Amino acid sequence: MNITVIFLLGLVIALIGVIPPGLLNMSAAKISLKDGHPAGIVFSIGVCMVVFLQTYIAAMFARYLSSHQNVVEILQRVAFVIFILITFYFLVLAKGKEKPEVDPNATSKHSRFFQGVFLSAINVFPIPYQSYMTITIATFGWFVFDTTSIVAYCAGASTGTFVMLYVYIFFFDKIDNKKLTSQKNMNFSIGIVTGIVTVFTLINILMDL
């Protein structure tokens, strides 16, 4: 498989996963507003370094699962149920919850970098998300689990994450003025993304029957 294609797949998949307003992109945006764009970029670099590692771990896990097809089939069904529950939660149950304020106290560039590392490390969603997505694209023949492909995919995932954080950093003031970052709309956005993944998972399950 072409390395450039694998890189772009990692970029697009990670970018989609970071589109909904969440802890990392909202933190990057608010740090940028408080301390300037360079601080937001330093924070984002810290985030992306951890994303690279998380994606690599996810790919290793997916490579193991790819040789145990029966386990993959079970996990697909479990993932389908989980995504349904997550979608229901964000579209129905969580639509009225208040938005938690992210007000980081650290101000130095080093502190912003390590803050990005810390917040990204406690955000473990990329590991199951990327495990599932790498297995899925591998079943379509778009990805192979060799070292070069895995590194290219991880680099793409880190780049895609950085691109979306960059968008939040430089356009958050416009987004915020349009009230797109209200908790209701944030939860709706997350629900839509997980809903799309749910439909994609169902299609994949039906194709395997």
What's the mean per-residue pLDDT of the chain?
A: 79
**pTM of the prediction?**
0.74
Predicted confidence (pLDDT) per residue in 64-123, tens digit: 877 766 766 776 777 778 778 777 776 776 555 554 444 445 555 678 899 999 999 988
> In the structure, how many helices (H) and strands (E) does the chain have?
8, 0
Give the residue carrying structure tokens 């917040």. Answer: 119
Q: Which residues contact 38 (CB under 8 A, 6 or more apart)?
A: 109
Among the listed residues 189, 196, 54, 191, the one whose alpha carbon sits nearest the alpha carbon of residue 134 = 54
C-alpha angle 195/200/206, rounded to 5°? 125
> What's the whole-number mean pLDDT along residues 47-73?
85
Cα→Cα distances 141→1, 2, 32, 172, 187, Å: 8, 12, 40, 38, 33
Please give the Cα distance from 95 to 144 (Å, whole number): 39
Question: Among 64-78, 117-131, 151-165, 183-197, which stretch is predicted with the lowest mean pLDDT?
Answer: 183-197
